[in-house]
Structure 1
Amino acid sequence: MIKVNKRITTFLFVLLAWGVFSQKSDSLTKPKNLTLRQFSRLADNSKKPVLLCFCADTFRVCKIQEEALEQIALERHQDMDVIWINLPDNPKIARYFEITSVPVLILYVKGYPVWLLYQVYEKEKIIKYVDPYIVNQ
């Protein structure tokens, strides 16, 4: 049996995380090739609310939504995590959630989904929906 140094384990974990979260646009996390287990960790292990956007960056409506989410991620990064799930980059997640239209926004609080929105929303409207959950943290 091979003994694994704690530093090596940490280093490997960091490399794995860096591969999963390889694309970051300011504070908007854009993971690629997520497994269901990794996805579950994103939503379940965060101490802050997690706003997920399921989208496809090839659609114009998703580009509009992305702009609003980038602004929210920059302004509210200390209060919440904002994660962009690009469906072509994450086909397993798309199949699991049976996403058939985009964009889809889901807010997770303490590992549980608390609301779901199915269309493009402006930044102010998203913040209006999110704020009650941030205040109660």
Structure 2
Amino acid sequence: MHADAVDHLAEHPGSYDVFHSAFGSPDFTDPRWLLPAAVRALRPGGLLAASAPGHYPGGAPAGVDVQHAETPARTPAGDAATMRRWVLQETVWTKLLDEAGFTRISIDRFPPAVPGARAADTPLLRARRPS
């Protein structure tokens, strides 16, 4: 399916048991819109499980404010472009998940599989829609 994540979730309240994303919509969609739509799309007790970048691709640290950054990218044709990314500190994710209505919020941090200058820890966000 091809759809805007927020629009799709808003059109399917109470439809999902799990919202899973591996470096996807949580870091490419404004979380102030995405997370409330996700909690409503989950059934009571449903699980959100999402990985997010630990820092920006160029090495800049995760943000302390809910603000996107324009990060370098390439179009399918190879042309230079930028895209919006929300790379946030764990405390910011926790606050956003709580404000969206999630409970049982936890964040685990996994070290990079391969060390290097661009390697980053990966936060794994987990939260539940209240039962």
State the TM-score, normalized to the length of structure 2.
Answer: 0.31
Please state which structure has a larger fraction of its residues in strand: 2
